[in-house]
Structure 1
Amino acid sequence: MDPELAGLASVAAATVVQLLTTAGWERAQTSMGALWRRVYPDRANTVESELEESRAVLLAARQDASDPAEAEQAEAELVSEWQGRLRRLLAAEPGLAAELRRILADNLGPEPSGRGPDEPSVRVSVRASDSSRVYVAGRDQHLRGG
């Protein structure tokens, strides 16, 4: 699989799983269902139901875990599961990558913060290829040759 598509699947899976325990989980469910409907319309409702099951698993793990590492393990397993599903979907229909990027940016991004018009908003988007390096910082960054 194209490394860029694999990376996109990874980011999308992590984002969706993180949203499962927030108020935005229904946006994630609806968005993923819509994505699946474009390729496998007969599976979309199942995907939405499975996201609801994943949500229940994660909520239970967080509530029942006496050790925070157990909840983190449950989350990691769900991310891996959904990453695999998204990778298979993108392998079947690579053209969905643009739609998935749009969904991540428009539907699954952070909720508006309610900032005033004079308060700055920052969005950083980075893309590296081949053997390039990318350094991103919110403030000062000091690099030393090595």
Structure 2
Amino acid sequence: MDAELAVLAGTAGTTLVTLLTTEAWQRVSDGITSLWRRAEPQRAEAISAELEVTRTDLLAARAAGDPDTDGELGAEWQGRIRRLLVAHPEEAAGLRALLDELRPVTPDAPAVTQHATASGHARVYQAGRDQHVGRS
């Protein structure tokens, strides 16, 4: 998979989880459901229901003071979106448009920008979170 699509899926998963407990949750849900409706219409209603479950889980976790659920659900949705983009890369533009539309309502979060250049036999390792590198 194109690294750019993987980053897009990661951003989408994080944005989705961040906004599902805000006033923008219905717009997020509608946008993600529409993405599936275009790519895999037979799954759109199930995705909509899963978004509702995710929202309920997030609200309960936050009420209970559970800080780990956000990351877990974000990773879960990142995986779903990544798999959708692998099967339907033409949906990347629609997802980017949705994220651009949601940007004004996304709570301030630290921006992470990574750039790397390698030449010769150099290796570059970058991560937005944990990274474990083993050499054999």
Partner of 2:45: 45
Q: How does 1:131-142 map to 2 (within 5 A)?
A: 131=118
Which residue of structure 2 aligns with residue 13 of structure 1?
Answer: 13
Aligned-residue offset at 1:39? 1.0
Superposed displacement of residue 30, structure 1: 0.1
Letter in 2 for 1:78: L
Q: Confirm whether residue 109 of structure 1 aligns to residue 103 of structure 2.
A: yes
Unaligned regions of 5+ residues in structure 1, if any? 66-70, 112-123, 132-146
Same amino acid, percent of matched pairs: 46
Matches within 5 A, 1:108-127: 108-111=102-105
Q: Higher helix fraction: Structure 1 or Structure 2?
A: 2
Once the two structures are TM-superposed, the CA of residue 129 in structure 1 deviates from its matched residue by 6.7
Aligned counterparts of 2:13 and 2:68: Cα–Cα separation in 1 = 15
* Pair member with larger Rg: 1
The number of equivalent residue pairs is 115
Higher relative contact order (CA 8 A, sep 6+): 2
Match of 1:95, SS state, is helix
Report the TM-score when normalising by structure 2.
0.77
> Alignment RMSD, CA only?
2.4
Q: Which runs of 5+ in 2 are unaligned?
A: 106-110, 119-136
The equivalent residue for 1:87 is 82
Distance 2:11 2:88 in 1: 18
